[in-house]
Chains A and B, each alone.
Chain A
Amino acid sequence: MPNAYDEMLDGKGKTRPHYRAFGKWLEQAPPARIAQRRTEAELAFHRVGITFAVYGEDAGTERLIPFDIVPRIIPASEWQVLERGLKQRVQALNFFLHDIYHEQRILKAGILPPELVLQNSQFRPEMVGTDVPGNIYAHIAGIDIVRAGAGEYYVLEDNLRVPSGVSYMLENRKMMMRLFPELFASQQIAPVEHFPDVLLDNLRSVAPEGVDNPTVAVLTPGAHNSAYFEHAFLAQQMGVELVEGQDLCAQDNMIFMRTTRGLQRVHVIYRRLDDDYLDPNVFRKDSLLGLPGLYAAYKAGKVTLANAIGTGVADDKSTYVHVPEMIRFYLDEAPILNNVPTYQLRKPDDCRYVLEHLAELVVKEVHGAGGYGMLVGPAASKKQLADFRRRILAEPQKYIAQPTLALSTCPTFVDAGIAPRHVDFRPYVLSGRGIHVVPGGLTRVALSEGSLVVNSSQGGGTKDTWIVEV
């Protein structure tokens, strides 16, 4: 693999301009002080209880996501391009969702093969013809961005269902301001702390029509969910109730919370629960997490769900391939952000090519998430390669493949000192009455040497992300 682009150092090993202030601190700080800051960060995260629950091994235990004190810094000039590209992309995705649940113009125009959409398990026929406030479906989107080659940005994945991680963006920033007040004083680092306010405004702006003072609630699957910390955190930061299905009831197509003073109407539900579990009357019958009657109230326009039901069809890895075409089709603009070149294994030519070059490629399940069910060719054993080949041959339409990108690296503290580790980046795009992107996001880092898997469930860590005026 070619040398990866380093976020901090240029080809000659010189610190890039936007990293100068931090580089200087790092150079001058005695090792003891650095060690002390790292210990302080770890202790504080433990005490604050920013943990996530682990599925599988040691079920029910909690783990800290490792936090690295070297920030990922993006110069403001690059951010401006990213921001425009993100807004453009999410706007097109919302147009796409509205279209496929209404006129289906894009299918009629032959831009996307209809079966790709209509036979997708994430397509919700129940949503056809249902209007949602402002025609917004993906109110909260997390767009995964990587940098490769000589530093070009690519969109790796769109997350339009229940993207998580924004609490880490906020907590990481709080931690960095506590550890490095002098760095925040000496340069212009764009603030992200107002995210909960923007989120609340955004949710209130999509309330059912005619509601003046809408009540918002966050719906969680419960304290055992891996992202429960985030659910509770966001509810608290917005000052709204954190509810479980058991706290809600439906009457006359309206949704109410069970409070100490009786029932109270809820108008907007920021749900952190997959479509399948929302309402046992319509979706999974065995779900105890949602609320019977929620779908009927939604359909009747008496409650808004954010995100809308049925967004999964747009963030599917087989739909991903077509997002640049959506941008051209709906907005009549050239895409600002590029996709990673992607092979669709449902196409025989692509499939043949991928099977021949399996050891060089990354193969992903079309519906997979969280880094599960993924093959990183160059890092895979013979047995894993053979195993994946069998799975691909059995159901090629379930997979896509991409070249193994040399993801950019960022200096990171490891046992042996500071070393480059691969990173990605997830900014959050909020759509309501307008589209907002808070300047920053979550940078994830693969902590083992050479690893490209940044997911927290697979041992990845996080960093604060600074957008800095240079």
Chain B
Amino acid sequence: MLCRTANELYWMSRHIERAENTARLIDLTQRIALLPERFERGAAGVTVWGKALEAFGIEKEYARLYGAVNAQKVLRFMIFDALNPSSIYSCLQSARESARSQRGAITAEMYEDLNSSWLSIRALSWEQLVSDGLQVFLDRVKQRSASFRGITIGTMGRDEAYHFLSLGTFIERADCTVRLLDIKYSVPGAGDKHEARNAVDYYQWSSMLHAISAFETYRRIYKDTVRPKRVAELLILREDMPRSLVVCTVAIHNILSSLLHGERAEVVRQAGALAAEMRYGRIDAILEQGMQAYLDGYIERLYLLADEVNREFMTSTDRIAA
């Protein structure tokens, strides 16, 4: 496969996953912002939208364009703004451009599905979106993403192209799970507490589970009330939770191994080492280290891995293949 094709496919699936994750993150932020915070109602709402911007690393860009944090403006910026490369609109646009340029490498049904998603968001106005209801829109984004994922799994040959698409999905998903945890852990007052402080805190944690459709899984696994420590364990270390960091990391390692057919390469070594640590990790050790520090460490290694993927597959050394 061409280096350029691998790169486009990888970014196509990252953008689709990012659109979905942005919808989930907005969902979470919306839920947290709507909860009454004891003494600082209103202020908390603003704070949490600011946190959402920070989680995506787009707070400076927002401030430059729109100034002070305002819930409606942040929403529009994250959903609909073509000036924000991470907005849902921009993600779908980029994904569709990649698909258009690589339509030969994906199935016709995948292209048609993604093209429909793009045409429908392009036809939508912000006013229409607001009048239909934010939740309706967020649900639609998640549905479109699920539809694309389903068509990909159901129609695509298990070839290199499929592996690069999956690789993009899991790297982006791991990235997003970290960002979600980040929001909760950096909201004032939450900190690395092992127990929910009060009813509001409890609702914040359960909101997070709802935003990633993990509430039922939590209940089934723990048969317990929502406890921060267990939520963290679920999202980081549980192999039966589809969006957990360990599931994403192990998947990344497996995909890289398949791509290289068992060849020993730095990129597989890095992924394998990270996956092993995650598989045998303990939540107590993580909390001892401090959640924020742990998440920072993880994200740094994930980025190094992404760089290594780029170097290994998407940059030509112009040496003749065996």
**A223's contact among B101, B314, B322, by CB below 8 Å, is which?**
B101
The answer to whether the Cβ of A243 comes within 8 Å of any Cβ in the partner chain is: yes
Cβ-defined contact, A236 with B103, below 8 A: yes
Chain A residues near B119 (CB-CB < 8 A) = 46-47
Cβ-defined contact, A258 with B2, below 8 A: yes
The answer to whether the Cβ of B143 comes within 8 Å of any Cβ in the partner chain is: no
Q: Give the most central of A233, A236, A242, A260: most B CB within 10 Å.
A: A260
* Closest chain A residue to B111, Cβ basis: A49
Q: In the bound complex, what is the Cα–Cα distance between A236 and B110 (angstroms)?
A: 14
B320 to chain A, nearest CB (A): 5
* Closest chain B residue to A239, Cβ basis: B104
Task: Give the interface residue-count category, chain B.
Answer: 20 to 34
Cβ-defined contact, A260 with B313, below 8 A: yes
Cβ-defined contact, B320 with A49, below 8 A: no
The answer to whether the Cβ of A261 comes within 8 Å of any Cβ in the partner chain is: yes
The answer to whether the Cβ of A61 comes within 8 Å of any Cβ in the partner chain is: no
**B319's contact among A223, A233, A241, A263, by CB below 8 Å, is which?**
A263
Knowing A49-B103, A232-B103, A236-B103 are in contact, say whether A260-B318 is a contact too (CB < 8 A): no
B100 to chain A, nearest CB (A): 6
Chain A residues near B317 (CB-CB < 8 A) = 262
The answer to whether the Cβ of B115 comes within 8 Å of any Cβ in the partner chain is: yes
Q: In the bound complex, what is the Cα–Cα distance between A258 and B318 (angstroms)?
A: 7
**A48's contact among B108, B320, B321, by CB below 8 Å, is which?**
B108
Chain A residues near B320 (CB-CB < 8 A) = 251, 256, 262-263
The answer to whether the Cβ of B1 comes within 8 Å of any Cβ in the partner chain is: yes
Q: In the bound complex, what is the Cα–Cα distance between A264 and B2 (angstroms)?
A: 9
Quick one: which of B75-129 are within 8 Å of A by CB? 97, 100-105, 108, 111-112, 115-116, 119
Chain B residues near A46 (CB-CB < 8 A) = 115, 119
Cβ-defined contact, A260 with B314, below 8 A: yes
**B104's contact among A236, A259, A261, A263, by CB below 8 Å, is which?**
A236
Cβ-defined contact, B321 with A259, below 8 A: yes
The answer to whether the Cβ of B37 comes within 8 Å of any Cβ in the partner chain is: no
The answer to whether the Cβ of B140 comes within 8 Å of any Cβ in the partner chain is: no
| B182-205 vs A, Cβ < 8 Å mask (1 yes, 0 no) | 000000000000000000000000
The answer to whether the Cβ of B4 comes within 8 Å of any Cβ in the partner chain is: yes
The answer to whether the Cβ of B308 comes within 8 Å of any Cβ in the partner chain is: no
Q: In the bound complex, what is the Cα–Cα distance between A222 and B6 (angstroms)?
A: 16
Knowing A47-B116, A49-B111, A49-B112 are in contact, say whether A263-B318 is a contact too (CB < 8 A): yes
Chain A residues near B97 (CB-CB < 8 A) = 223
* Closest chain A residue to B322, Cβ basis: A262
| B6-33 vs A, Cβ < 8 Å mask (1 yes, 0 no) | 1000000000000000000000000000
Q: In the bound complex, what is the Cα–Cα distance between A47 and B115 (angstroms)?
A: 6
The answer to whether the Cβ of A249 comes within 8 Å of any Cβ in the partner chain is: yes
The answer to whether the Cβ of A246 comes within 8 Å of any Cβ in the partner chain is: yes
Quick one: which of A191-232 are within 8 Å of B by CB? 222-223, 228, 232
The answer to whether the Cβ of A83 comes within 8 Å of any Cβ in the partner chain is: no
The answer to whether the Cβ of A244 comes within 8 Å of any Cβ in the partner chain is: yes
Cβ-defined contact, A49 with B115, below 8 A: yes
* Closest chain A residue to B160, Cβ basis: A260
The answer to whether the Cβ of A268 comes within 8 Å of any Cβ in the partner chain is: no
Cβ-defined contact, A247 with B3, below 8 A: yes
* Closest chain B residue to A242, Cβ basis: B104
The answer to whether the Cβ of B258 comes within 8 Å of any Cβ in the partner chain is: no
Q: In the bound complex, what is the Cα–Cα distance between A235 and B313 (angstroms)?
A: 22
Knowing A47-B115, A260-B314 are in contact, say whether A243-B2 is a contact too (CB < 8 A): yes
The answer to whether the Cβ of A257 comes within 8 Å of any Cβ in the partner chain is: yes
Q: In the bound complex, what is the Cα–Cα distance between A223 and B319 (angstroms)?
A: 27
Cβ-defined contact, B2 with A257, below 8 A: yes
Cβ-defined contact, A247 with B112, below 8 A: no
* Closest chain B residue to A262, Cβ basis: B321
Q: In the bound complex, what is the Cα–Cα distance between A242 and B112 (angstroms)?
A: 19
Q: In the bound complex, what is the Cα–Cα distance between A237 and B101 (angstroms)?
A: 15
Cβ-defined contact, A263 with B4, below 8 A: no
B166 to chain A, nearest CB (A): 15
**B2's contact among A233, A241, A251, by CB below 8 Å, is which?**
A241
Chain A residues near B314 (CB-CB < 8 A) = 260
Quick one: which of A247-278 are within 8 Å of B by CB? 247, 249, 251, 256-264
Q: In the bound complex, what is the Cα–Cα distance between A411 and B116 (angstroms)?
A: 32
* Closest chain B residue to A258, Cβ basis: B316
Q: In the bound complex, what is the Cα–Cα distance between A233 and B104 (angstroms)?
A: 6
Q: In the bound complex, what is the Cα–Cα distance between A264 and B314 (angstroms)?
A: 15
A381 to chain B, nearest CB (A): 39
* Closest chain A residue to B118, Cβ basis: A49
Cβ-defined contact, A47 with B112, below 8 A: yes
**A249's contact among B313, B318, B321, by CB below 8 Å, is which?**
B318
Q: In the bound complex, what is the Cα–Cα distance between A181 and B48 (angstroms)?
A: 57
| B54-81 vs A, Cβ < 8 Å mask (1 yes, 0 no) | 0000000000000000000000000000
* Closest chain B residue to A46, Cβ basis: B119
B284 to chain A, nearest CB (A): 41
Q: In the bound complex, what is the Cα–Cα distance between A66 and B320 (angstroms)?
A: 46
| B280-322 vs A, Cβ < 8 Å mask (1 yes, 0 no) | 0000000000000000000000000000000001101111111
Q: In the bound complex, what is the Cα–Cα distance between A55 and B154 (angstroms)?
A: 38
A333 to chain B, nearest CB (A): 41
* Closest chain B residue to A244, Cβ basis: B4
Q: Give the most central of B160, B314, B316, B318: most A CB within 10 Å.
A: B316
Q: In the bound complex, what is the Cα–Cα distance between A407 and B312 (angstroms)?
A: 58
Quick one: which of B252-291 are within 8 Å of A by CB? 259
| A63-75 vs B, Cβ < 8 Å mask (1 yes, 0 no) | 0000000000000
Q: In the bound complex, what is the Cα–Cα distance between A46 and B118 (angstroms)?
A: 11
* Closest chain A residue to B313, Cβ basis: A260
Cβ-defined contact, B3 with A260, below 8 A: yes
**B1's contact among A244, A251, A259, by CB below 8 Å, is which?**
A259
* Closest chain A residue to B321, Cβ basis: A262
* Closest chain A residue to B4, Cβ basis: A247
A292 to chain B, nearest CB (A): 14
Cβ-defined contact, B103 with A261, below 8 A: no
Chain A residues near B115 (CB-CB < 8 A) = 46-49
Cβ-defined contact, A264 with B112, below 8 A: no
Q: Give the most central of A228, A232, A251: most B CB within 10 Å.
A: A232
Chain B residues near A257 (CB-CB < 8 A) = 2
Chain A residues near B322 (CB-CB < 8 A) = 262
Q: In the bound complex, what is the Cα–Cα distance between A183 and B316 (angstroms)?
A: 52
Knowing A243-B2, A260-B6 are in contact, say whether A223-B100 is a contact too (CB < 8 A): yes
| B166-189 vs A, Cβ < 8 Å mask (1 yes, 0 no) | 000000000000000000000000
Quick one: which of B123-161 are within 8 Å of A by CB? 160
A-B contact pairs, 21 of them (CB 8 A): A46-B119, A47-B112, A47-B116, A49-B112, A223-B97, A236-B104, A241-B1, A249-B318, A251-B320, A256-B318, A256-B320, A257-B2, A260-B1, A260-B2, A260-B3, A260-B160, A260-B313, A262-B316, A262-B321, A263-B318, A263-B319
Spell out A's residues near B (CB within 8 Å).
Answer: 46-49, 222-223, 228, 232-233, 235-236, 241-244, 246-247, 249, 251, 256-264
Given A223-B100, A263-B320, 9 other A-B contacts at CB below 8 A?
A47-B115, A48-B115, A241-B5, A247-B2, A256-B320, A258-B318, A260-B2, A261-B321, A264-B321
Across the A-B interface, the 3 shortest Cβ-Cβ residue pairs: A262-B321, A236-B104, A258-B316
